[in-house]
Amino acid sequence: MRLLTFTTIIVGVALMLSCSTGRPSDNSGWVFDSYGCAIKRTVPGHKTVQFIFTADSAFEGGAFALDNLEKRKLKASFFFTGNFMRDSVNHPIIRRTIADGHYVGPHGDRHILLADWNKERTTLATADSALADMEAAYRHLADFGIVRDSALYLVPSYEWYNAEHIDAFKSAGLSPINLSPGIETYRDYTTPDLSYYTPSDVIWKQFLDRESTHGVDGAIILIHLGTDSTRNDKFYRYLPAMLDTLTAHGYSIERF
């Protein structure tokens, strides 16, 4: 049995008190996709956005993001897999992320693909398997002082799932969230060998066009801080410009 240290308790309390948005279960301002996953939340009278960063096997842009968030006194949300947390090389950056006051939650344990990439999203991992995998990630978060009940927001592995998986997470009292549609920063994972490779300047232009024509109030914006080494064109280098642009346009940048 793990004994909770004083530091562990303080971290857990801090996470609970600093969560800036109500949980999707209260339905206040939340928008859900067709599978029941929360993908957006607006707050009346405030223009807000939430940045989320996921990590599994790579996180080379982690320090860069943390430095730029710290410089601007902003908070964001980070979601780590068990694969990432088991590697001791990553422990210092994980601890810094927590110490800096950002939200840290699970992205699954083994980063398993829950549903096929086909249109039907055919189930590949059962609901029970998906939940067991997520609970395993929570056990690794506990090693860093993060209490499960203070980190109920999660991002499903690969940001891909079907209704079975979302129902299982919700039945366990968890709050699955995902990126908002129409914002294509998630394409930063693509590599030059792919037919759908998207250069960072194209992603940046798409974001600016989206913000200027539709606005991004309430959006959940995903950026990968670790990508394949064959992609030299790292989109996370645009993070400072994104933060400054959104702030200049009156958005409040918040964490979960």
For the entire predicted model, the pTM comes to 0.90
The three-class DSSP label of residue 251 is coil
pLDDT at 23: 79
pLDDT at 14: 40
DSSP class of residue 13?
A: H
pLDDT digit string, tens, across residues 130-178: 999 999 999 999 999 999 999 999 999 999 999 999 999 999 999 999 9
The three-class DSSP label of residue 176 is strand
**Residue (of 125, 85, 87, 88) closest to 109 by Cα position:** 85
pLDDT at 254: 95
Angstrom distances, CA of residue 212 to CA of 151, 183, 209: 33, 12, 5
DSSP class of residue 97?
A: H
Q: How many CB atoms lie within 10 A of CB 201?
A: 11
pLDDT at 27: 60
Angstrom distances, CA of residue 69 to CA of 65, 74, 190, 243: 6, 5, 25, 8
Which residues, including other chains, have CB under 8 Å from residue 182's CB and lie 6 or more apart? Answer: 210, 214
pLDDT averaged over 10-residue windows placed end to end, the chain, 256 residues: 39 41 74 98 93 97 98 98 98 98 98 98 98 98 97 98 98 98 98 97 98 98 97 97 98 96
Which residues, including other chains, have CB under 8 Å from residue 212's CB and lie 6 or more apart? Answer: none
Extract the tokens encoding 24: 């999707």
